[in-house]
Amino acid sequence: MASPTSFYFLSLIIFLLMNMNPSQSHSSELKNSANDVVQVSLYYESLCPYSKDFILKSLQNFIKLDVMSVVSLRLVPYGNADTSQNGTVSCQHGPDECYYNIIEACAIEAWSMKLSLPFIFCVENGLFTSRTPNLWQSCSNSLRLDSKLIQNCYSSGHGNQLHIRNGKETNGLNPPLSHTPWLVVNGQNVVANDDLAIYVCNAYKGPIKFKACQR
C-alpha cells in the first residue's frame, strides 16, 4: 500500500503539471513577452537545514501561486562546496551532501522542472526525517519517474560534471555567495525569506494582474 507521503508527492506532481505552464493561462498575453518573464535562481545545498526550510516551505508554497506562470525557475545545488584543481568536490556538510547535490542536479537535467521539483521536495523531506536507504529511488518510484536516468547520470560521472559546473556558476556570482539558500531574482540577490512572491511581483513588469500580487 502506498504511504501518505507517496500520495502527497504524487498529488503535488499532478498539481504542477496542471499549473506550471504559462501556455495554459494568459497564453495570448504571454506570447512574445519574454521580457516579462521573471528569472529566479536558487543556489542551495542539499543538506543545509536553511536550504531545506526554504525549499519545503517558501518555495513549495510559492509554486502554487498564479504568478508562478511567469517565472523561469532554476535550482543550482552546490552552495558552499569547494572544487579542487583535480575536480574533487568537498561539500560543507560532508560526502552525503555531495552525493545528494549530484542526485538533485541529475534530476534537474533529466526532467522538466514540473517533474524534478516534486522529486527534490520528496528527497529534501526524507533527508531531514528518516533518511532511509534508497531514499531518492523511493521518491522517484512514488512519483512514477524513471530512476534509471538518475542512476546512469550518477554512475557515468556526468552528475559530477554537473556538480562542478554548478560550482563554477556559484563561484561566479556577484555579489559572491556568502550563505545558503542564496536567491537571485532577475539578476539581483535578494533575501531568501518566507515570501518569494514579493520579489517576483516587484520584478514583474507585464500587464497581467495576478492575485498573488494584489496585497
Give this prediction's pTM.
0.86
**Phi/psi of residue 71, nearest 5 degrees:** -105, 135
Helices 113-127 and 95-110 meet at what angle, rounded to 10?
Answer: 160
Give the closest residue to 41 by CA, choosing from 95, 92, 108.
Answer: 108
Burial string for 158-184 (b: 16+ CB within 10 Å, else e) reads ebbebbbebbeebeeeeeebeebbbbb
- Answer yes or no: is 184 within a domain: yes
Say which CATH number the domain at 78 has. Answer: 3.40.30.10
| Residue 18 forms part of a structural domain | no
Query: Does residue 2 form part of some domain?
Result: no
Write down the pLDDT at residue 37.
97
For the chain, residues with pLDDT lower than 70 are 1-34
How many folded domains does the chain comprise? 1
152: in domain: yes
Q: What's the pLDDT score for residue 29?
A: 42
**Which residues span the domain enclosing 110?**
35-213
pLDDT of residue 32: 34
pLDDT on residue 109: 98
> Within a domain: residue 96?
yes
Amino acid at residue number 213? C
Residue 67 carries which DSSP code?
Answer: G
With respect to residue 1, please indicate whether it lies within any of the assigned structural domains. Answer: no
